[in-house]
Amino acid sequence: MLPLGALLVALALTACDRPQAQNKSQQAAPPPAVTTSQPVVSELVEWDEYTGRFEAVASVEVRARVSGYVDRIAFVDGQAVKKGDLLFVIDPRPFERALAQAQAELEQARTKAQNSALDVERGKPLLERKVMSEKMFDDRANLLREAEAAVKVADAKVATAELELAFTRITAPIDGRMSRATVSLGSWISAGGTANATLLTLLVTQDPIHIYFDISENNYIKYKRMAELGALGGKDGKGADVEVALPDETAFAHGGKLDFVDNRLDPGTATMRARAILANGKQIFSPGMFARVRLAGTPLKSTVLLPDAAIGTDQANKFVLVVAEDGMVSRRNVQLGPLHQGLRIVRQGVGPQDWVVTSGLQRARPGQKVTANRETLRLSAVRPAASDAPVSR
């Protein structure tokens, strides 16, 4: 056995050597491994996305022009109709009687006018021979003028009666699709252009169709600049391409044209109302339906793209980590755009030559070195999902 003093000395030497061994072990640990890639560069257009609502190009509240009882409903609820198709018939019998009476009054007025004209013709030679006084002749002439005026009044009454009789047949003023009938057979309906007039049904056009959406003030100014440069339709952006996706669609498969921009910003929301027109031959779209609308936010340009996995977030900024040739990590704040074929558009912060950490972001720290395994990024062949839709910035 070793003496007690020698044992204590050996233990003290072992304790002194242990921290040195640990320090050597820590110094020998290699830098953490990460995957880096250079951004993909692609020629593309960035799109600004909005929520839009479809409205009919024309919408007509069908009301009667004459009062009466509904004698016939000539359409099925929801039916597609053409301009001139019969919709309702109001009982025409009272109007037929009124027309017959007006025609009889017209015939009576014409007879009186003819008799008055004969009296004037007979009075002319009598006036020349001084057999009739001038006053009597003038009275006959005045009676003729009154009779002729009565003919015109009676003729106007006939025209009015014919028009009211025609109004008993209510026809479609435009092509479109009917709503339901709000009255039943035998119902009394009131006529006129006032609020008391009975609403019979609603008729809306289907093809083409409008979609309305609101543009932010900043984007409106941006579009004006683009239109001035000829990069967005014609004057005020009219004619610019617009793409639409329904709520259950991932791709913007429906195309249209911007055809209207309002003349003032809404002071309450600081937005500008815009409208596009789309073909709707298959009648997929319906007035009142919501959809996603996107409008070109930039001209065709070279754009940098990265995967979302490469992008970090703190309380205020989005950032990426860039690895230099010597493996040193640095942080870059970035400005992001929408997704495009699985990759995120990076508008500002990195360039095509930078090597960005795309995997192992949590192991890299700015100011420290890493071991970088370089890989090549590629655009996804899969069409973008709903979450990939470009967003308004």
Residues 175 and 115 in one domain: no
Q: Helices marked H in the chain — which ranges? A: 4-28, 93-128, 134-166, 217-228
Residues 73 and 111 in one domain: no
Give a yes or no: residue 23 inside a domain. Answer: no
Structural domain range at position 156? 93-167
At 142-156, the pLDDT tens digits run 888 888 899 999 999
Any idea what the CATH number is for the domain that residue 233 is in? 2.40.30.170
**What's the pLDDT score for residue 182?**
92
**What's the pLDDT score for residue 382?**
39
**What's the pLDDT score for residue 194?**
64
75 is written with which tokens?
């359409």
Nearest to 392 by CA among 277, 293, 245: 293
Q: CA torsion angle for 246, 252, 256, 261 (degrees, to 10)?
A: 80
Is there a contact between 382 and 41 (Cβ–Cβ < 8 Å)?
no
**What's the pLDDT score for residue 391?**
37
Give a yes or no: residue 314 inside a domain. Answer: yes
Is there a contact between 365 and 323 (Cβ–Cβ < 8 Å)?
no
User: Could you say which of 279, 296, 313 is where a domain stops?
Assistant: 296
Residues 233 and 179 in one domain: no
pTM score: 0.67
Report the C-alpha gap between 243 and 247 in whole angstroms: 13
At 76-125, the pLDDT tens digits run 999 999 999 999 999 999 999 999 999 999 999 899 889 888 888 888 88
Domains of the chain: total: 4
Those residues of the chain that have pLDDT short of 70 are: 1-28, 193-195, 231, 233-237, 380-393
Give a yes or no: residue 377 inside a domain. Answer: yes
User: Could you say which of 249, 274, 296 is where a domain stops?
Assistant: 296
Angle between helices 134-166 and 93-128 (to 10 degrees): 160
Residues 263 and 316 in one domain: no
Residues 223 and 338 in one domain: no
Residues 370 and 273 in one domain: no
Residues 219 and 174 in one domain: no
Residues 187 and 85 in one domain: yes
- Whole-angstrom CA distances from 379 to 309, 341, 343 are 14, 6, 7
Residues 123 and 174 in one domain: no
Residues 231 and 337 in one domain: no
- Whole-angstrom CA distances from 226 to 45, 68, 178, 232, 240 are 13, 58, 41, 6, 11
Give a yes or no: residue 16 inside a domain. Answer: no
Report the C-alpha gap between 50 and 276 in whole angstroms: 12
Residues 82 and 186 in one domain: yes
Any idea what the CATH number is for the domain that residue 101 is in? 1.10.287
User: Could you say which of 138, 167, 196 is where a domain stops?
Assistant: 167
How far, rounded to the nearest angstrom, does the alpha carbon of residue 197 sit from its chain's CA centroid? 31
Residues 268 and 146 in one domain: no
Give a yes or no: residue 4 inside a domain. Answer: no
